Chain A
Amino acid sequence: MAEISEIICVTCPKGCTLRVKHEGKQVLEVLDGCKRGEEYAICELQDPRRMVASTVRVDGGLHPLVPVYTKKAFPKHLIPDLARALRNVEIPAPVKINQVVLPNALGTGIDVVASRDMPKVAA
Chain B
Amino acid sequence: MKTNYDVIVIGSGPGGLAAAIAAKENGADDVLIIERDVELGGILLQCIHNGFGLQLFNEDMPGPTYAQYYIDKVKAHGVETLMDTMVLDISPQREIFAINKDLGYLDLQAKAIVLAMGCRERTRAQIMLPGARPAGVYTAGTAQRFVNVEGHMPGNKFVILGSGDIGMIMARRLTIEGAQVERVLEIMPYLTGLTRNYVQCLLDYGITLQKHRTVNRIIGRDRVEAIEAVTVDEKWQPVPGTKEIIPCDTLLLSVGLIPENELSKKAGVLLDPITNGPYVDDRFMTNVPGIFAAGNVVQVYDLVDWVTEAGSTAGKGAAQFALAEKLETGEEIPLKAGENIRYVVPHKLDKNHLAEEQVRLQMRAITPMEERVLVTVEDQNGEVVTKKGEPYARPGEIITLAIQPKAYEAVQRATSLTVNVRKR
Contacts and interface: CB of A to CB of B under 8 A. Distances in A.
B151 interface: yes
B45 A10 contact: no
A49 to B, nearest CB: 11
A28 interface: no
Interface stretch (B193-201, B226-234, B402-410): B193-201
B48 A55 contact: yes
B196 A13 contact: yes
A54 B325 CA distance: 47
Contacts of B362: none
Contacts of A62: 38-39
Interface in B57-116: 60-65, 67-68
- For the side of the interface on B, what is the size category? 35 or more
A22 interface: no
A61 to B, nearest CB: 11
A50 interface: yes
B272 to A, nearest CB: 25
Given A50-B200, A51-B60, A116 B149 contact: no
A84 to B, nearest CB: 8
Given A53-B49, A67-B148, A15 B178 contact: no
Nearest to B51: A13
A76 B200 CA distance: 10
Given A13-B51, A63-B150, A65-B149, A116 B65 contact: yes
Interface of B: 38-39, 45, 48-51, 54, 60-65, 67-68, 147-151, 176-178, 194-196, 198-200, 204, 302-303, 391, 397
28 contacts: A8-B196, A8-B198, A10-B196, A12-B54, A13-B54, A13-B302, A15-B195, A15-B199, A53-B50, A53-B62, A54-B48, A54-B177, A63-B151, A64-B151, A67-B48, A67-B148, A69-B48, A69-B50, A69-B62, A69-B65, A76-B204, A79-B176, A83-B178, A87-B177, A115-B48, A115-B63, A115-B65, A116-B65
Interface of A: 8-10, 12-16, 50-55, 57, 62-65, 67, 69, 76, 79, 83, 87, 97, 115-117
